[in-house]
Amino acid sequence: MPDQEPDQTQARTAADLTAVVGQLSRRLRAASPQGELTPTQRSALSRIAADGAVTTAALARAELVRPQSMRLTLAYLEELGLLERTPHPTDGRQVVLSLTAEGRRTLTSLRQSKQSWLAGAIADRLTPDEQRTLAEATELLKRLAAETPDSPGDAASDGHAEQRVDAPSDADARVRQ
C-alpha cells in the first residue's frame, strides 16, 4: 500500500498510463504473426520459457488463474505442438510441461515481430530527443513494474512459494528418506 493517497495529478497519470499501456499491448499483439494465440496462451508460453518446466498448478498460481482454466490453455498449446508433457521428477501423480522446439520458435517469432514493429514505430514517429525521453521513461516503468515483497502476484505475499520442478523440495527429500 502507498504511504499516502495519490493526488489528482497522480491519479490522472495512473489512468492515462493504464490506457496507453493497454493500447500499446493491443498494437503489439496485432503486430505479431501468431494471431491464433490468445494473450493468456502467449503469457503461459513466455512464463514456461522463462521459468522452465512447470506443473499446471504452479503455472496457474504464477499467472493468477484457476488451475482448470490453465489446463484448457495448456491443452490447446500442447495440441498445437508448442508444449510437451513429461513425468514429474519426484511426484508420479503429476506431469510437467515444457516448450517444444516449435514452441521456442513460435515464441521467438512473436517477440521478434513485436520488437521490430515497436523499434520501427520509435524510429519513425519520435524525434531523437523523444527517443531519449522514452528510454528514461522505460527505466521508470521498470521500477514501477518491479515486484516487491508486498506486491500482488508475488509468491511471498500470497503464501504460494514457487518451486522449480528441477529442484526437489525439502519435503521431497524427507519422503525419500
Q: What is the pLDDT of residues 101-127, one digit of tens each?
A: 999 999 999 889 999 999 999 999 999
Burial of 76 (0-12, 13-18, 19+ CB in 10 A): middle
Is the pLDDT reported for residue 173 higher than 50?
no
Residue 64: DSSP 8-state: T
Q: Give the model confidence (pLDDT) of 32-79 as tens digits.
A: 776 678 889 999 999 999 999 999 999 999 999 999 999 999 999 999
CA distance 177 to 173: 6
Instruction: Quote the CA–CA distance of 53 and 84 in Å, as a whole number.
Output: 10
Residue 60 half-sphere exposure toward CB, CA atoms < 13 A: 14
Helix (H, G, I), strand (E, B) or coil at 86: strand
**Where does the pLDDT of residue 164 fall: very low under 50, low under 70, confident under 90, or very high at 90 and above?**
very low
Q: What is the pLDDT of residue 149?
A: 63
pLDDT category at 2 given cuts 50, 70, 90 is: low
What pLDDT does residue 10 have? 94
Question: Long-range contacts for 35-44 (Cβ within 8 Å, ≥24 apart)?
Answer: 36/80, 37/106, 37/110, 38/73, 40/65, 40/69, 40/73, 41/73, 41/76, 41/77, 42/110, 44/70, 44/73, 44/74, 44/77
- In the chain the beta strands, taken as DSSP E runs, fall at 83-87, 95-99
Q: Which amino acid is at 156?
A: A
Task: Return the ∠ at Cα 47 (arms to 42 and 49), rounded to 5°.
Answer: 95
d(CA 102, CA 81): 7
**pTM score:** 0.66
Among 144, 103, 109, smallest CA distance to 17 is for 144
